[in-house]
Amino acid sequence: MNKEYNLEKQHIKGKLHAIERIKMLLDENSFCEIGSGITNYGSHTGKEEKKLPYDGVITGYGTISGRTVFVYAQDFSVNGGTLGLRHGKKIAHIIELAIKKRCPVIGINDSGGARIQEGVNALAGYGDVFYYNTLASGYIPQISIIAGPCAGGAVYSPGITDFIFVIENISKMFVTGPEVVKHIMGQSCTAEELGGARVHAEKSGVAHFYHQTEKSCFQDVRRLIEYLPDYEEHKKAKEGIIQKLNLNNIDGIIPKESKKAYDVRKIIAELVDDDSFFEIQENHARNLIIGLAKLNQLTVGIVASQPAFLGGALDCDSSDKGARFVRFCDANNIPLITLVDVPGFLPGLVQENDGIIRHGAKLLYAYAEATTIKLTVILRKAYGGAYIAMCSKHLRADMVYCWPEAEIAVMGAEGAVPIIYGNQLKGMMEDEKKVFLEEQLVNYKKQYINANTALEEGFVDELLLPEETRDRLYRDLVALEGKKDLIQIHKKHGNIPL
Ligand code: HXC
């Protein structure tokens, strides 16, 4: 071990050292360092006497479960892990190498931000990193671990990457720190309130994975890597006889009464391989569940309405959460399985004022533009615009299925009947009105709230029994492997509503 590493300085802060982190993350003895000799002799730091070994960031490559990954870890014990020109160039170089090799890149952030004494050279270093993060986006998976402070413009490098891991009491992530907030805005808050791990995992939605300890965080990053596409191998779905994949434990999960809630995770757990569901952004926008899973060993992305929270309605945050995940899966050619039980978009002043139009449009756009395999199962409700948005046939889902109790309609009976019969109701007495409404509610439910029209029109391909679903989805994945979308307009890029 390099004797210049100052492990103690990190340990007294309750943190691991950059080199310990890399070793914990990678397979044993697999780390190969790049650029260890790059040193800053203080010409830019203003501290001429102080040399900054490896300019405060350790970079290189190694393996996770045998797969190559590129990695960098900022060393807070070297001038606060601050980023100067060389430090920035080292990170940019690592991302560039990961692009060339087409494999994941993992950044471990622990830094005071731009090295103030380096002035514009520090900003240039950041500029390089942001540029390469953007170039890599959608081509290789990029993972950020926030293992200390990540302040100022520095947040935008993780911000561009696909997945951000935060750690309780260790991660602090904000554009402007508590002192500046106090000075400029007159607001008092702690660093934890402003950008602690929980804030980003629950409220802001910036983080995708939350951990109590560094060790469990690194273990989870290793797990995530196992779900990501391996571009070194040209994976072909297994050929030959597909054994029948029955589902036995699905009965009774969805309550008979359509307004009753249930936890859609129970359905997911039955549909995918045992213990393979790897949930993302678990504590943020809980009305929509997203995550990676394996279906008979093939990686799939799951997007599912969660009736246990806000009835599974779509709102601003869940639309954003879903849209970004759909785009991640599409960019990496991971098939999407969408499980629908959605009463609609969440109504109300707050949602409208927060821009549900703009946010909901992202989900529609992301699904419509995705060309990866798209399979949809309507478990129960699919109403209105949300029916379309949740990967309907109209957004070019490859297959849409429904379960026997599916309700597909423009809106629920309680909302629709008074609109349809508004004029007739005007002339009625209260008693008469009540009887009439009750009758019409029953009629409406019978006539409109089912999957019949959707099946007749081909908007739903097949009605499936729950127990048949796993098998059918797996067959679709195999059959559609390598599919090409016919309609592709060549353009520079679309303009997704941001
Ligand atoms: C130069 C810095 C520094 C910085 C920390 N240090 N931040 N040096 N530039 N931005 C140095 C300290 O002088 C100290 O050096 C060592 O790093 C450790 O810092 P401490 O303050 O002793 O550590 P700690 O008490 O743990 O506090 C950590 C901290 C604090 C919360 C991160 O250092 C801090 O608030 N730093 C400034 C954070 C910030 O505002 N960054 C944004 C910069 S602007 P010695 O020699 O004593 O060990 C920016 C814009 C980027 O990032 C724009 C990109 C587009």
Atom of ligand 1 nearest to the CA of 115: 9
Taking residues 53-71, report their average pLDDT: 95
Query: What residues have CB less than 8 Å from 25, skipping those under 6 apart?
Result: 64, 71, 106, 108, 218, 221, 222
* pLDDT higher than 60, residue 14: yes
- Using DSSP's 3-state secondary structure scheme, residue 2 falls into coil
> pLDDT tens for residues 396-418?
999 999 999 999 999 888 888 98
Nearest CA to ligand 1 atom 20: 80
Percentage above 70 pLDDT, the chain: 95
Catalytic residues: 152-153, 385-386
> How far is Cα 437 from Cα 132, in angstroms, rounded to an integer?
61
Check whether 178 has a pLDDT greater than 80: yes
Q: Return the exposure string of 54-91: e unless at least 16 CB atoms fall within 10 Å of the residue's CB, then b.
A: bbbbbbbbbbbeebbbbbbbbbbbbbbbbbbbbbbbbb
pLDDT confidence bin for 424, thresholds 50/70/90: confident
The pLDDT assigned to 316 comes to 98
pLDDT tens digits for 253-312? Answer: 999 888 899 999 999 999 999 999 999 999 999 999 999 999 999 999 999 999 999 999
pLDDT digits (tens, 9 = 90+) for 353-372: 999 999 999 999 999 999 99
**Atom 32 of ligand 1, nearest CA residue:** 112
> Quick one: which of 444, 461, 450 has its CA closest to 383?
450
Residue with CA at minimum distance from ligand 1 atom 45: 79
ipTM over 0.90 threshold? yes
Q: Is pTM, for the whole model, over 0.80?
A: yes
In this prediction, residue 48 carries a pLDDT of: 57
Of 10, 57, 82, 182, which is best to mutate to test ligand 1, by the most ligand atoms within 8 angstroms of its C-beta? 82
Place of tokens 């992530």: 173
Residue 202 CA to ligand 1 center (angstroms) comes to: 27
pLDDT at 49: 55
Q: Is residue 151 in contact with ligand 1, taking CB distance under 6 Å? A: yes
Q: Backbone phi, then psi, for 152, in 5-degree steps?
A: 70, -155
Q: Is the beta carbon of 81 within 6 A of some atom in ligand 1?
A: no
Q: Which atom of ligand 1 is found nearest the CA of 127? A: 55
CB atoms within 10 A of CB 6: 14
Nearest residue to 98 (alpha-carbon basis) of 146, 65, 60, 124: 60
284: tokens are 């943020």
pLDDT of amino acid 47 = 59
- In this prediction, residues 163-176 reach a mean pLDDT of 96
Over residues 449-455, mean pLDDT: 91
The reply to whether ligand 1 has any atom less than 6 angstroms from the CB of 385 is: no
Q: What is the pLDDT of residue 69?
A: 96
Using CA atoms of 319, 325, 331, 335 in order, give the dihedral in degrees to the nearest 10.
-110
Confidence check: pLDDT of 166 > 90: yes
Query: What is the rounded distance in angstroms from the CA atom of residue 139 to the CA atom of residue 152?
Result: 27
- Domains belonging to the chain, first-starting first, are 7-225 (3.90.226.10), 265-412+449-479 (3.90.226.10)
Q: What is the mean pLDDT of residues 165-170?
A: 98
State whether the beta carbon of 77 lies less than 6 angstroms from ligand 1: no
What value does the mean pLDDT take over residues 182-197?
A: 95
| Ligand 1 atom closest to Cα of residue 130 | 55
The CA 293 to ligand 1 mean position distance, Å, reads 40
Q: Say what percent of the chain tops pLDDT 90.
A: 81
